Structure 1
């Protein structure tokens, strides 16, 4: 696994459709949770509120991995059922449209969940 200093470096390491999807996913997360702190964690882009995980995402050969912790995936179980999943992860194939609205809804859900638990960012 490569060590990336920041998300720009991470995304720059990809090309083609994967790079495009990573850029789109980043923008969706930043728009839904502008107060989230962006970093690299577990070797991939990570977003946190109050130092607590919000979502992560990563690029792969044939998909974008999206990680909204088990609670985010459980809350959207029906909507995510058409995608390959693991515990707390889902794969959005590069040859299918990126589910932008769903990603935004999941980020907003996780944001509300973190804010309810730790308070709003001022």
Structure 2
């Protein structure tokens, strides 16, 4: 039995007795990583705005970056992150005509709420 477990582990397949821990990390693009960690009520308001006026909630969230909201881009300057959020809002507004921007806007708002919940505010 021990030899069989060893053979499986050498081939890259883990058995239940080997204790292998797998960690999954999400890789975010610059626009997605620029979404700020906001307080929960503000994130819900931005989701509501994004649902009915595509890009408006994303535009409002850009100003929370200037107010000190944390993002997943700690190495970028606050103004750069602000303009990334403005660019995301602009993309949502322009592409809302073909429904892509509206759907993107709703998902963006949902991400804001998820980030607010994970932050624990």
**Does TM-score exceed 0.5, indicating one fold?**
no
Q: Which structure has more strand as a fraction of its residues?
A: 1
TM-score by length of structure 1 reads: 0.29
Larger relative contact order, structure 1 or 2 (CA cutoff 8 Å, min sep 6): 2
Structure of higher CA gyration radius: 2
Q: Which structure has more helix as a fraction of its residues?
A: 2
TM-score by length of structure 2 reads: 0.30
